[in-house]
Amino acid sequence: MFTGLIEDLGKVKEIVNQNGGKLFAIEFNIDCNDIKIGDSISINGACQTVIKKDGKILTFEAMEETLNRTNFNYLKKGDIVNLERAMGINSRLDGHLVSGHIDCTSKLNSVKNEGVAKIFNFEADTSLIVEKGSISINGISLTVSKVFLQNFEVSILPYTFENTNLKYLKQNDVVNIEYDMVAKYIKKFTENKSESKITREFLLENGF
């Protein structure tokens, strides 16, 4: 489990095709002494397992499902990725609960300036997105500012822009999307209204 607060920007040092999957060697900037083989690391929002460690270069193996579901197939040597270690049980939850299980990818439609912020517009199925709700984009916990029929917007402050790989994005670049898990569970419970016992009153009573 992650918080969506990016700890580090890593550089892709090597990509190796292997048995339908790919090995990614990524160079970290932060101290990696407390990272060990088997640890979970969020790479652009996708939870991956450390399988090899050589100083600050850590290797991860992405299976075919991950490659099909994420933007990993678009990664190239030298690309910059967002990194976050799994949260500790006693950590503050300053972002929102991010599982590291990517739902889909999305393309960047446009970026515009609005005061000190930059407004990013992404193409997406918005059935699980609500205005002022949470969403994870490349592993970054963000608040949705506007929702349209087939796209949505997030407002990015200078700190987030400078300390994540959002600053490298160009129009039509592909990002990883993880919808808010609460929204996904509510949709699942309410899909079959004839069988579901989840009502508006039930949701209100339980704080939704």
Residues 51 and 125 reside in one and the same domain: no
* Nearby residues of 38 by Cβ (< 8 Å), 6 or more positions away: 49, 50
Averaged pLDDT, 92-102: 79
Residues 126 and 174 reside in one and the same domain: yes
Residues 80 and 110 reside in one and the same domain: no
C-alpha to C-alpha distance for 9 and 27, rounded to whole angstroms: 9
State the total domains in the chain: 2
Residues 71 and 119 reside in one and the same domain: no
Of 35-49, 94-108, 136-150, the one with minimum mean pLDDT is: 94-108
The residues facing 43 across adjacent strands are: 46, 83
The residues facing 108 across adjacent strands are: 122
CA dihedral defined by 75, 169, 98, 153, rounded to 10 degrees?
A: -140
Q: What DSSP character marks residue 91?
A: -
Task: Tell me if 153 is assigned to some domain.
Answer: yes
Q: What DSSP character marks residue 15?
A: E
Task: Tell me if 98 is assigned to some domain.
Answer: no
> CA angle, corner 46, sides to 71 and 86, nearest 5?
155
Residue 32 is part of a domain; what is its CATH number?
2.40.30.20
Q: Percent of the chain beyond pLDDT 90?
A: 77
Q: What is the pLDDT of residues 80-96, one digit of tens each?
A: 999 999 876 666 666 67
Task: Tell me if 124 is assigned to some domain.
Answer: yes
Residues 110 and 182 reside in one and the same domain: yes
Q: Which range of residues forms the domain containing residue 79?
A: 8-85
Residues 69 and 108 reside in one and the same domain: no
pLDDT band at 21 (very low <50, low <70, confident <90, very high): very high
* Nearby residues of 81 by Cβ (< 8 Å), 6 or more positions away: 9, 10, 11, 12, 26, 43, 44, 75, 138, 165
Residues 118 and 158 reside in one and the same domain: yes
